[in-house]
Structure 1
């Protein structure tokens, strides 16, 4: 699928950085193509089926709201910007990104914090003609709310919520009487932890007109569904009302293989809350991790009632290629139906595996998204618009004149910022969305001095990455594959392979992922592909090794001393 002018039209929210003056050391990328598939997704779907995940790749912590026949979803983005991607759907299966809620320079400042900080679990809601997103921003202000009359934007500047203290994951609920409430995670009452990972859920009234919390804060859950079991890190709460009762759902157990979703209910927003009789209502921690093609770490769910009266849940989970946390694609957005049993919602019965294929919601058929988010697909960006497509991101800051779109190409000016500097390198990247994937681009770059390099970066975070770049070595343009795999490696990485590519002709660069292995290849002129390095250890990019909450990002990169 070729996405040039169409993708640029979708990118109306990313209005920055498209001007600048190039120079001899500038790198030019003429196009970028992503192709991906997964072995478990080989069979063709029937007309009434859908495939999980519905939004593949690094799209964690989904939250969803409905306005009439339209559904809107937001995800976390952590240290990458523009942040908080906003999606639209009419069938809960086919999703199209329509905005980034944090899309202008200067709205947040992550400083030199790690990439796994930044924008945590967001929640989207709608009331009386206005959309709200509540969120936590590490390193810059804590909890905040942004609003928009149109979910496509523009979204407002953040309004900070100091009364929520140091907690995370705020979620907004509007009651039938028009009153609004915010629930979030925080330390227990008196800031006293009874055990490591002891957290609580709190509620406070919210003034939706003036965008501020009011009245007292009330702790409604301490520890989790059963504090006697010492549950860790209860978080990601959402509140609903059904048949006159208030239902609270939240995750506990951390976002690894112990992840689980719990349910409580109460006669009033402030409680008292009683845990459900069958908790958790969603988990995979009770299944054999050695089962074929597992889906793991399910939780952080949000529930939604459709216009037909069905209930569904969006939630995060992961698809490891080995072990519970050996995955490079990040935490992804999944969809499952919700059953009500004796007045309680249930997503999956205990011991039940998340299906990769399910029966679609009973909603009007919707054409597939122009930019696919599920199943095998190919997306090619021609860089021929006036803005980058909405799914391209850069670390930490949107300010800077180090890039421009011109003449159907993406131009990057090398900066004296490396992938390890916890700063803002010359890097635009997109997500790896499949276990097996390839990233291909055409690069024109002639480094005019030692220390300049440009090509592709493959990055999980500041300490774990590959760099596949053209640079000048002993006076000859040379392709180099370098890696950093933690603090034991130098910040500039270790060289794994090198290949002279003399002259000044354009280079086609390709990175291929095959589960835990990555290959690096080059093509020049009319020649075919030549492998520079095969079977590089890509497990260093897995969550099991690199830790954190993100997935692998790949894209055009430039570095130098200017």
Structure 2
């Protein structure tokens, strides 16, 4: 592990002793003077698609995980299903969900929840942990999560557990290059790793030319077997078409045949899912004559309830023998921008023929799906993850925070404390524009139309103190909205950062008696920031501002926008008189 940023040093000894996401420091002593205390948060989503498509009694909403939960992978042990997604430089890493029916999901934690497992302290938000694969090995009753970590010199790693409800082990570094690995366990006990890689040196034919490679895997030593590597797909379905970015491979076995499913076309407008078959896990693999088996690339971009970029899938046999596939896709807003990121969708899979095909995966994807037989929709109830339109309230009075709350580049336990009045954030010097751990507590933006508001008790002590809320796509594209000081006066300030350059949108001198309410509202591409001194009468600051910088269209990268609580003791924000 790399030497940690000095900002984390005081907390590391404590953090490493606990599963970081399941532990919250309970400090019931009064909050420190001058340190921001957030007494509550209310997030409310109100998307038109859900208002216009109310659920029938036999339906549930798609996507099943709204917001930035891309690259889903799924596995099964008996009646228990486990799903993981990419987390990049968010901490803890690799959110993991559990279900009994593929409709109702509970987040049970994160796979990489300790600093010893994940070192992202100096990492851009779209680096970190990519495309996890999760597989249950019935031969030794063990779960494996394999992923690529673009941080801390980790590369491709595997972690293991006997019980995903408990902690996962320390990372085992894999001795191969490339990305998007997944592991497959055959009936005879043999194991294989497949992954995306570059072509052999000197054999690259065009930009985006990639290959799928396979290795035999030694289950006892937990390492690939040197010299067993083989390219099993070169370029994609048809090399003559110059396919780009064959990636995210998964191996399956059914009726004595081996199936290799991959994404093709890049995680954008040409994204798709394709399938190959072989008599051996090491090939040769023959593409299905009807590829792709999932894509949304052929439809108008301005269609109603547009779902696009579908691909990067994994399939599983569900209840009653019906197969299902999880995959990523996006829902652009009315301006065609992607602010909510790549989300996790699900569709039934028809495997009555030789090859599996996603049902209705080759026509425009609808916002609702029919429930599997005998399943009741409990999303948003009894601890199940919500979807559709919903309100999430947090008063910070529980023993632990909801799993949706995440840090950036480091554990949240390094800067949060529970007090009698709410959640205290002990600010780092780092600002959200820096490649350092920041004292920010985030959740994902999960709707195109939403509001996020909080009540804050805070009086900055110096011009370098700032606390409030942030809407962030990455360190170079974000908004910061909150309270600071200039001389003897207090100000409410809205700062916009685009391409790494920060500017003040608006600022206003205020009479601050410790308490202030802050709110950000998003309506597709339009965002508004407002404050209330009396906790009720909100006043807009800066008018309507563009959410373009919170989209991947403008900001680039692989994440969706996040909203959260933010504090810094090293603020460079200067109010404009």
Q: Say whether the fold is shared (TM-score over 0.5).
A: yes
Larger deviation: 336-345 or 278-287? 336-345
Which is further off, 11-20 or 259-268? Answer: 11-20
Q: Does structure 1 residue 57 correspond to structure 2 residue 71?
A: no
Is the Cα contact below 8 Å between 1:68 and 1:307 reproduced in 2?
no
* Structure 1 unaligned residues grouped into runs of 5+: 1-10
Cα distance in 2 for partners of 1:350, 1:142 equals 33
CA distance in structure 2 between the aligned counterparts of 1:350 and 1:554, rounded to whole angstroms: 31
Structure 1: how far apart are the matches of 2:353 and 2:289? 10
- SS of the aligned residue for 1:122 comes to strand
Q: How many residues matched?
A: 545
Match of 1:47 among 25, 32, 57: 57
- Aligned-residue CA RMSD (Å): 2.0
Aligned partners of 2:428 and 2:265: how far apart in 1?
41
- Conserved 8 A contact 1:13-1:153: no
Structure 1 window deviating more from structure 2 (361-370 vs 260-269): it is 361-370
Distance 1:414 1:400 in 2: 12
| Contact 2:19 2:167 survives alignment (8 Å) | no
2:118 counterpart residue number: 108
Q: Secondary structure at the match of 2:320?
A: coil
Among residues 488, 494, 511, which one is paired with 1:502 in the alignment? 511
Is the 1:81–1:394 Cα contact (8 Å) retained in structure 2?
Answer: yes
2:224 alignment partner in structure 1: 213
Aligned counterparts, 1:23-422, within 5 A: 23-42=32-51, 43-128=53-138, 129-140=141-152, 141-162=154-175, 164-165=176-177, 167-190=178-201, 192-215=203-226, 216-322=228-334, 326-340=337-351, 342-348=353-359, 352-365=363-376, 367-369=378-380, 370-398=383-411, 401-407=414-420, 409-422=422-435
CA shift for structure 1 position 360:
1.7
Tell me, yes or no, if the aligned pair for 1:385 and 1:408 is still in contact at 8 Å.
no
Q: Distance in 2 between matches of 1:40 and 1:399?
A: 34
> How high is the TM-score relative to the length of structure 1?
0.93
In 1, the alpha carbon distance for the partners of 2:20 and 2:319 equals 29
| Other structure's SS at 1:344 match | coil
Residue among 537, 554, 570 paired with 1:545: 554
Q: CA deviation at 1:191?
A: 6.2
CA separation in 2, counterparts of 1:170 and 1:382?
A: 40
Following the alignment from structure 1 to structure 2, what is the Cα–Cα distance between the partners of residues 172 and 35? 39
CA distance in 2, matches of 1:37, 1:85: 25
Q: Is the 8 A contact 2:512 2:533 kept in 1?
A: no
Measure, in 1, the Cα distance between the counterparts of 2:299 and 2:315: 23
Per-residue CA distance 1:29-63 (angstroms, 9 max, x = gap): 11111111211111321121111101100100111
CA distance in 2, matches of 1:13, 1:304: 30
Give, in whole Å, the separation in 2 of the partners of 1:57 and 1:337: 21
Q: Is the 8 A contact 2:121 2:437 kept in 1?
A: no
- For residues 196-217 of structure 1, the C-alpha deviation after alignment (integer angstroms, 9 at most, x for no partner) is 1111111111222332112511
Using the size of structure 2 for normalisation, the TM-score is 0.91
Residues 366 and 436 from structure 1, CA distance in 2 versus in 1: closer, same or farther, beyond 3 angstroms? closer
1: distance between equivalents of 2:25 and 2:159? 25
C-alpha spacing 1:189/1:361, structure 2 compared with 1 (3 Å): farther
Go from structure 1 to structure 2 and tell me whether the alpha carbon gap of 1:200 and 1:302 turns closer, same or farther (over 3 Å shift): same
Q: Would you say the 8 A contact 1:185–1:199 is kept in 2?
A: yes
C-alpha separation between the residues in 1 aligned to 2:365 and 2:197? Answer: 30
Instruction: Specify every segment of 5 or more residues in structure 2 that has no aligned partner in the other structure, as ranges.
Output: 1-17, 572-577
CA contact (8 A) 2:59 2:377 kept: no
Once the 2 structures are TM-superposed, how far is the Cα of residue 247 of structure 1 from its aligned partner?
0.6
Residue of structure 2 aligned with 1:479, choices 492, 516, 535: 492
State the alpha-carbon separation in 2 of the partners of residues 212 and 494 from structure 1: 50
Task: Name which of 517, 520, 523 aligns with 2:532.
Answer: 523
1:438–1:513 Cα contact (<8 Å) kept? yes
